[in-house]
Structure 1
């Protein structure tokens, strides 16, 4: 890279047309200006000016170097302008959360994008471990997870609580023999079913459930599309456990029933980003939308 100090001297020399005036502008001596030009010529490998007593003419290489120096100044000014301007309603935001939350949040994020079309929102449904990995590698900017991560690697904010629900077909009569009922129905399995089921049993405070062995429950079906998990339950083919946000988005909730507990089972939602990473202003707008709607989940 050509020395920027010598380039600056060269530009002022070309603009003024005089070594003496260049020296005055830069608070240098005239021999100092001449030295800068000689060093620039040596560094570039070409003569940049053709000297004629006290005047000079640019060589063809000199014209190219002069334009290059002007472009550098213009590019630097443009960069500084972009750095100083952080538009909260423009740019790309990549987010990730569970499939259940994605079903609930995506329409609201789309509404935000309709209001601000230059704000590009990309939402991915993924499990906790994938979200954390992709935040670390820079694929995802912001995530919502349900397990407290390593706070040495991530900045973490508790953003809300979400209820976990055990969902049954509406035509099933739920009674105190919940353990027998679940064994008879079988589990509609999905990628997070084992995690949700273990949390549900552990926190339900129902003795018949806390002592139930997950491995003894037969699997009566499997689907990995969050929008389809409740369909086999609605058809009486089994039960499952999902966050309430997934149930709220189901088109025919009258075909389902939620097992009633004395104490609802709740999971904490954490907003995470890479440790000490400063996100652009547009993320404050997005986070305000997330907090607004996750607060509804919390209540």
Structure 2
């Protein structure tokens, strides 16, 4: 078995990239760090780093050992988390949600951690289908989705709703579908789902008969905070949750085109079928159920 102290020294060195700084972080001397690395290399039987005058470069074998050290650290964290299964205010909980929800929820999760420092969040941002995948394989404890889950594979409940808005430039506000087509659509990971749902639910007779392919693509971006930037600059329109507007630095150049009736998506809290959530997750879920921002208010 590889010496865990040598592995920790090696991982720290690779993470920091400096023998001097690694020694400072580990409260060791620089020769002590070098000795740990040499002993680890002797035990592995391979050179793990190529030493140069004032730097070093990790070898192919070194990369494998580094990944091994990461896996050990991750497994230890998972074990400690599982051991604290029945602890309501400690351990890591894993939640997956959309980027829009992460903007809304994360500040509240941080406040919860300030109250219970040992209760640590792991938040994965993903579209609906990826959230279902992560829940199915056990990468997250639970998620928030706006797509109705399959009851064969998931347990779920309604936890709130979010309003979808059609964002257009404030300059030369569109008043008809032809102008939307001329602007073109700013696409993003959830774009097709949002646009399709908006068109079917807004109550606008002409828009409800159209397909998402009827709008030419004016651009694509997968960074939530940047999706509205081209719209604010007169390039295209898009559909996003209303809350995303707060993340746009040029929000004053945006308007929502309120055609038909307001469109809301139901928000589902979902977990794997028959999966018993750690007690700490119930602490988080109780917080989420009390948030007005999840009720579309």
Answer yes or no: same fold by TM over 0.5: yes
Once the two structures are superposed, what CA deviation does each residue of 1:188-220 show, in whole Å capped at 9, x if it has no partner?
Answer: 111111111111111111112112232121111
C-alpha contact (below 8 Å) 2:104/2:293 kept by paired residues? no
Q: Find the aligned partners of 1:259 and 1:84 in 2 and give their Cα distance.
A: 49
Structure 1 residue 295, shift from structure 2 partner: 5.2
Correspondences of 1:116-127 after superposition (within 5 Å): 116-127=116-127
The separation in 2 between residues aligned to 1:262 and 1:218, in whole angstroms, is 22
CA root-mean-square deviation: 1.9
Change (3 A) 1:134 1:294: farther
Partner of 1:239: 237
Is 1:254 the counterpart of 2:252? The answer is: yes
SS in 2 for 1:272: strand
Deviation at 1:129, TM superposition (A): 1.5
Tell me the TM-score normalised to structure 2 length: 0.69
CA deviations over 1:27-60 (Å, ceiling 9, x no partner) = xxxxxxxxxxxxxxxxxxxxxxxxxxxxxxxxxx
Normalising by structure 1, what TM-score? 0.68
Change beyond 3 A, Cα 1:263–1:148 = same
Q: Structure 1 CA distance, aligned partners of 2:133 and 2:179?
A: 39
Q: Distance in 1 between matches of 2:154 and 2:161?
A: 20
- Partners of 2:83 and 2:193 lie apart in 1 by 44
Find the counterpart in structure 2 of residue 162 from structure 1. 162
Q: How does 1:128-277 map to 2 (within 5 A)?
A: 128-175=128-175, 177=176, 179-277=177-275
Gaps of 5+ in 1: 1-81
Gaps of 5+ in 2: 1-81
Name the count of aligned residue pairs.
216
